[in-house]
Structure 1
Amino acid sequence: MASRSPPQSWEYLLTKEELLWRNHYVWLKEHDYLLRPRYNPDWVPSQWIAGKELSELGFDLRFEDSQANAKFSKNYKVMDATRISDGAFVVLKPINIAMYEEEIPIGLWFSEEPQASDPANHCVPILEVLDFPDVPGKRIIVMPQLCRYDKPRFDTVGEAVEFMRQVFQGLQFMHKNNIVHRDCNAENIMMDVTRLFPTPYHPLDTRMKRDWSGRVSHLTRTQRPVKYYLIDFGLSVRYAPGAHRPPEPIVLGGDRSAPEFRMKDGVLPMECDPFPTDIYYIGNLLRTDFVEGRGYGPRPPKLGFEFLRPLMEDMVQDDPALRPTMDEVVRRFDEIIRGLSRRKLRSRVVKVDDDFDCFYAVTHWFRMIASIIRRREPIPSP
């Protein structure tokens, strides 16, 4: 087959979402943010250098620059970058300010003092806000690079308990400051895993090194405690201190299962009190990700979390007025945790469908013994 000359531009290999970033690569670099080589206007796919045929270019997943921020990726709405001035890994998120007018003001308020230094604040900080030079109505918020809360998976019950404690504390902090999240589902709870990974991981796959040269290893949360964050305030509402909190129009986020969204007597409700709905979202996360699992997808229940059931069931009651407030949730959760033994907290987190693996069981025991010798707390708070 006769060879073909490479095209002048490889942008045809990029998705529509990726072209936005490619077109602003130089501008972002001028503002201290460097995107991956894939988005450099002068990018030549490494597959071409490796001698691939033109028809094969751009789709060989063995190469780092084939990792696309596309719609089949959960991260396609944001873009990872490196801050040139200090090498920090960050995330860039474009915001449609007409559609999500409160996301930036609320995020900036949580990022200001004295809120930023409050240990109860678990809202993701906004590091900077940029204005697109040629995209009217859109701004970019810069945030630390974070990972989904359960990747890597929990090693011990105590690690999962600390996750719940921080999330409860974070939502309580929001509610105390008259702010309701309205979309606090599993996809919007992240963690800073910088200390877990001695070698930087790839932003699209935490199992791989950042340069895609191989698998990356990580420590446990007990060895290196982490901090969890609530993200995405696009649907959030802020009330003035002491102001009346009227019902809000119902908006559907990632979790659409709340009972107050269901049709009643043939009528679809149009509004609800969003504070109890926040309680439902977090209670439903306990139900689907820990106690009972989901009836769909790869989300089996985890063994050993039945101690959460009484609190969880109260948080997901059909009548929003019967659900506990966040203050009550935090108080009851603290009482539950005080009743757990240190042995229970150090026990391994096992999913229902996990096959018995002697290697993992033995290595867990070695880690547990090492933690006891080093006097690491079974609930690893940062």
Structure 2
Amino acid sequence: MPMLKVFDDPPFHCRSEFVDAFRQLLEAGSRLYAQPQYSSCSSVATLPTRPRCRVGPVRYYIIDFESAQECPEGKENAEAKRPLRCGTKTSPEFSLCLPCNPFKLDVYNAGATFFELCERYHGMDDLRPLLLEMMSDDPFVRPNMAEALRRLDELVSSKDKLWLRGQIWKLRGLVKPSSHMVQYLWRKFPVLLPYF
């Protein structure tokens, strides 16, 4: 068995890598949820070592089926029969200690995971409306995995190839420039001094 890594390590290089990871999670979720059981989509792993767009298509694997349960009553009426120990602890269902629909909770968890990634990368604002809808407080407003996948495909098809190939980079905390840089900028652009 090859050693698996967390899906966002190494960091994403361009939007196509990010969108591909999100698409594969939604595709896996919509395929898994076509059956009368649910499994938490909280652990996704992959094997990249170089930038994903240079290696070719990267396969992502959902590997954590520890909390999978069968739901003979169907997706719409399903309820978790035991407390859920996985996923995002900020979900409204997690804070209410009541039985919840695990399919809707997985939509929230997938949206929250990728929303957190969007917050860490510059240039991912176009995906935020979809992710915020997936993270809606009302589970009945959230799209299912297949609907989210359809909306993601619509968004990507409305953009050009340059948008997909556009490089993204991780946001880091503000780095204080060195004193030499401040002196240089002050001499060249004295108006900028109050910003240092």
Task: Give me the TM-score of the superposition, normalised by structure 1.
Answer: 0.42
Query: Hey, what does 1:256 align to over in structure 2?
Result: 89
CA distance in 2, matches of 1:344, 1:232: 33
* 1:310 equivalent among 119, 129, 132: 129
Query: Hey, what does 1:174 align to over in structure 2?
Result: 32
CA distance in 2, matches of 1:341, 1:239: 41
Query: Relative to structure 1, is the Cα distance of residues 241 and 191 closer, same or farther in structure 2, using a 3 angstrom cutoff?
Result: farther
Query: Relative to structure 1, is the Cα distance of residues 192 and 343 closer, same or farther in structure 2, using a 3 angstrom cutoff?
Result: same
Secondary structure at the counterpart of residue 223 of structure 1: helix
Query: Relative to structure 1, is the Cα distance of residues 229 and 331 closer, same or farther in structure 2, using a 3 angstrom cutoff?
Result: same
* 1:222 equivalent among 45, 53, 59: 53
Query: Hey, what does 1:11 align to over in structure 2?
Result: none
Task: Report the AA paired with residue 307 of structure 1.
Answer: D
CA distance in 2, matches of 1:339, 1:347: 15
Task: Report the AA paired with residue 279 of structure 1.
Answer: V
Q: How many residues align?
A: 173
Task: Show CA shifts across 1:274-315 (max 9, x none).
Answer: 11000000000121111x3xxxxxxxx211111111111110
Task: Report the AA paired with residue 159 of structure 1.
Answer: E
Query: Hey, what does 1:13 align to over in structure 2?
Result: none
CA distance in 2, matches of 1:355, 1:287: 21
Gaps spanning 5+ residues in structure 1: where?
1-89, 91-143, 194-217, 264-268, 293-300, 357-382
Q: Percent sequence identity over matched residues?
A: 29
Over aligned residue pairs, what C-alpha RMSD do you find? 2.2
Query: Hey, what does 2:22 align to over in structure 1?
Result: 164
Higher RCO (CA < 8 A, seq sep 6+): 2
- Bigger helix share: 2
Task: Give me the TM-score of the superposition, normalised by structure 2.
Answer: 0.80
Query: Hey, what does 2:184 align to over in structure 1?
Result: none
Larger Rg: 1
Task: Show CA shifts across 1:70-104 (max 9, x none).
Answer: xxxxxxxxxxxxxxxxxxxx2xxxxxxxxxxxxxx
CA distance in 2, matches of 1:153, 1:244: 36
CA distance in 2, matches of 1:354, 1:222: 26
Task: Show CA shifts across 1:198-250 (max 9, x none).
Answer: xxxxxxxxxxxxxxxxxxxx432112121001111111112349698442233
CA distance in 1, matches of 2:73, 2:45: 28
Query: Hey, what does 1:321 align to over in structure 2?
Result: 140
Query: Relative to structure 1, is the Cα distance of residues 242 and 167 closer, same or farther in structure 2, using a 3 angstrom cutoff?
Result: closer
* 2:100 equivalent among 256, 263, 272: 272
Query: Relative to structure 1, is the Cα distance of residues 270 and 146 closer, same or farther in structure 2, using a 3 angstrom cutoff?
Result: same
